[in-house]
Amino acid sequence: MFWRRGAREADLEGQAAGEASVPRPDDPPVPTSAPPEDARSASMADGVAASRRGFMARLHGILRTGAADEETWEQVEETLIAGDVGARLAMDVVSRARSRRDPGGPEAGVRAELGRLLPSGASGPWRPARPHPEEPAVVLVVGVNGTGKTTSIAKIAARLASEGDSVILAAADTFRAAATEQLQSWADRLDLPLIAHKAGADPSAVVFDALDAAVARGADVVIVDTAGRLHTRHNLMEELAKIRRTIDKRLPGATPEVLFVLDATTGQNGLAQAMAFHAATGLTGIVLTKLDSTAKGGIVFAIEQALGVPVVFAGVGERVSDLVDFDPAGFVEALFG
Ligand SMILES: Nc1nc2c(ncn2[C@@H]2O[C@H](COP(=O)(O)OP(=O)(O)OP(=O)(O)O)[C@@H](O)[C@H]2O)c(=O)[nH]1
Ligand SMILES: [Mg+2]
């Protein structure tokens, strides 16, 4: 198996140099000492606390004190845009909220219209599909650099393992130095098997081997970590499409979950990323990370509208337990308080 080093390196150099707006932390340290766990499990309220103090506090202020006049509605629109809802969507929300003439007042109108933007959600918590009982469910995790893919994999794996699933991790980020060690250190902590190749190996080959191992061991779920990549890099997106084809080849009829990990602090640029990853791999769900670190949680509305792919999890911190099932009604409730 050969690795076309020249082409790949050129791509990644271009990625690092050319598009500086997307964060690419240089090899974040391997989490040897993980953040301390506490017994309390995270909630949606933890995730939106910063947004409540941020754009939502401003929205409450405007809606409570302002008369429902032109100026107030303009300020509402501006505030929604500042909260990452997006200009077009903010305009729609305001015009619908205005024409509702909600008996609960303008705030109730805005709340109802924002709520309408989110699909009512699946019944029950997310579980990866497993069409053939003798074959594992497959979860492919993709996204741009540093969004929280590997950390989210650890969180999801821990969740599934605690529910009794046998989980295998596949270290298909063969590019970034220390990526495999990072995943290995999570695997050790969580006591889960990991399938890895040497640095620079073909990521699809890692996936193929992980699926083989999972079938041989009768594992329930394989979760595949991939290298962060810019959505504008054709060759790198093609590499993901190849991983998809490898899964289809090794497990015909499998219906992999393809989770796009979106850093909530990225703002509206996240929409363009999500669209490109959707086109290359067919996303089935979104993991919205670092919701705890943004005061602009309105990106949730924008992404659901643009893609029609549900947000399934929210990352609300760095601990392994900082993952909450995304429930649209609960999100709006937590946001409005
Ligand atoms: N506050 C907060 N930090 C997070 C969350 N999820 C991940 N992080 C942090 O984000 C940083 C990057 O996380 P990684 O999991 O390494 O990201 P990645 O997408 O795998 O990165 P690459 O493999 O380099 O593309 C780490 O410092 C994580 O602890 C979250 O929900 N909240
Ligand atoms: Mg990673």
Question: Regarding beta strands 194-195 and 285-289, do their DSSP bridges make them parallel or antiparallel, or are they unpaired?
Answer: unpaired
Mean per-residue pLDDT, 272-287: 94
- The more confident residue out of 65 and 73 is 73
CA–centroid distance, residue 261 to ligand 2 (Å): 11
Region 240-247: mean pLDDT is 96
Task: State how far the Cα of 209 lies from the Cα of 239, in Å rounded to an integer.
Answer: 17
Reply yes or no on whether the pLDDT at 316 is more than 60.
yes
Residue whose CB lies within 8 A of the most ligand 1 atoms, among 183, 318, 325, for a mutation test = 318
pLDDT of residue 20: 34
Q: What residues contact 243, with CB distance under 8 A and at least 6 apart?
A: 140, 172, 203, 204, 207, 224, 226
Q: Kindly report the length of the chain.
A: 337
Q: Can you tell me the distance from the alpha carbon of 271 to that of 306, in angstroms, rounded to the nearest whole number?
A: 7
Residue 18 to residue 23: CA distance in whole angstroms = 12
Please provide the distance, in angstroms rounded to a whole number, between the alpha carbons at the two ends of the chain: 55
CA of 100 to the centre of ligand 1 (A): 41
Q: Is the pLDDT of residue 167 over 60?
A: yes
> From the CA of 321, which ligand is nearest?
1
Whether residue 24 is predicted with pLDDT greater than 70 in this model: the reply is no
Percentage of residues of the chain with pLDDT beyond 70: 87
Beta carbons within 10 angstroms of residue 96's beta carbon: 16
Please choose from 37, 151, 233, 266 the residue to mutate so as to test ligand 1's pocket, defined by most ligand atoms within 8 A of CB. 151
Give the atom of ligand 1 at the shortest distance from the alpha carbon of 315.
31
* Helix H or strand E segment including 61: helix 55-65
Residue 108 burial (10 A CB sphere; 0-12, 13-18, 19+): middle
- The CA distance from 12 to 115, in Å, is 40
- The predicted pLDDT at position 55 comes to 86
Q: Report the nearest atom of ligand 1 relative to the CA of 323.
A: 31
> Does residue 123 have a pLDDT over 90?
no
Q: Ligand 2 center to residue 224 CA distance, Å?
A: 10
Residue 162 has pLDDT above 70, yes or no: yes
Q: Which residues line ligand 1 (CB under 6 A)?
A: 28, 143, 145-151, 173, 176, 179, 228, 261, 289-290, 292-293, 315-318, 322
Does residue 256 or residue 105 have the better pLDDT? 256
Q: What is the pLDDT of residues 169-205, one digit of tens each?
A: 999 999 988 999 999 999 999 999 999 999 999 999 9
Residue type, 81: I
Six-digit token string for 199: 């640095």
The answer to which of 27-31, 34-38, 212-216, 329-333 has the lowest mean pLDDT is 27-31
d(CA 105, CA 97): 10
Q: What is the pTM of this model?
A: 0.87
> Which residue, judged by its Cα, is nearest atom 21 of ligand 1?
146
d(CA 66, ligand 2 centre) in Å = 46
Cα angle value 184/289/33 (rounded, 5°): 40
Helix, strand counts (H, E) of the chain = 13, 8
**How far does the centroid of ligand 2 lie from the alpha carbon of residue 229, in Å?**
10
pLDDT at residue 114 tops 90: yes
Distance 128 CA to ligand 2 centre (A): 20
Residue 76 has pLDDT above 80, yes or no: yes
Atom of ligand 1 nearest to the CA of 35: 29
Q: What percentage of the chain has pLDDT greater than the value 90? A: 61
Token duo for residue 180: 């495999």
Query: For residue 166, what are the CA distances in angstroms to 157, 295, 305?
Result: 9, 37, 35
In this structure, which ligand is nearest to the CA of 30?
1
Residues 199-234: pLDDT tens digits? 999 999 999 999 999 999 999 999 999 999 999 899
**Ligand closest to the CA atom of residue 183:** 2
| Residue 29 or 104, more confident | 104
| Helices 70-82 and 106-117: angle between axes, nearest 10 degrees | 40
**Which pLDDT value is given to residue 101?**
85
The encoded tokens of residue 323 equal: 């993952």
Write down the residue that tokens 């707006």 correspond to: 21
Amino acid 23: pLDDT: 39
What is the residue whose two structure tokens read 């499990």? 41
Residue 38: is its pLDDT beyond 80? no
Least confident piece of the model among 18-22, 117-121, 250-254:
18-22
Q: Mean pLDDT, to the nearest integer, of 34-63?
A: 78
Give the number of the atom of ligand 1 that is nearest the alpha carbon of residue 314.
Answer: 31
pLDDT on residue 9: 39
Ligand nearest to the CA of 184: 2
- Say how many Å lie between the CA of residue 70 and the centre of ligand 1: 42
Which atom, in ligand 1's list, is nearest to the CA of 317? 32
Cα of 174 vs centre of ligand 2, distance in Å, is 10
**R_g over Cα of the chain:** 21
Whether 128 contacts 138, CB under 8 Å: yes
For residue 311, what are the β-bridge partners? 286
| Torsion sign across C-alpha atoms 188, 190, 193, 195 | negative
